[in-house]
Amino acid sequence: GAVVSQHPSWVICKSGTSVKIECRSLDFQATTMFWYRQFPKQSLMLMATSNEGSKATYEQGVEKDKFLINHASLTLSTLTVTSAHPEDSSFYICSPLQQGPGHYYSNQPQHFGDGTRLSIL
């Protein structure tokens, strides 16, 4: 099955630090990447959608200057939480959408990374 690698799995840092989270699709190409975050005892909330080579689309209420997304290749997307504060502490999860032949998306189920637990002190 498809493998998604998300790194780091856990990070603790001081307030004001910027944190970069990487998401790699190891055995497939992903034109599109979804980024979610999840607060304790809550469901996953979609933050943004990125397409390779273009700007990400952010959901309402998500600050694009706070959460920088770079989708520079078909196998790698990064989310950078800039000047992180305690309220940014959360579980961040990536989900690459597998590319199929031509301009089509694969009909395979959407895959998810194992998440990054971010704790800002």
| Six-digit token string for 58 | 């952010």
| Residue whose CB is less far from other proteins, 82 or 112 | 112
| Residue whose CB is less far from other proteins, 9 or 18 | 9
Q: Please provide the DSSP assignment of 9-48 as one string.
A: SEEEE-TT--EEEEEEESSS-EEEEEEEEE-TTS--EEEE
| Residue whose CB is less far from other proteins, 28 or 36 | 36
> Least distance to other proteins from the beta carbon of 112, Å?
4
| Six-digit token string for 38 | 């999840």
> Least distance to other proteins from the beta carbon of 86, Å?
19
The phi, psi pair for 92, rounded to 5°, reads -105, 135
Type of residue at 11: V
Chain residues that interact with other proteins, rule: CB under 8 A: 4, 6, 32, 34, 36, 42-46, 49, 91, 93, 95, 97, 103-107, 109-115, 117
> Least distance to other proteins from the beta carbon of 109, Å?
4
| Residue whose CB is less far from other proteins, 29 or 82 | 29
Euclidean distance between CA atoms 64 and 52, whole angstroms: 17
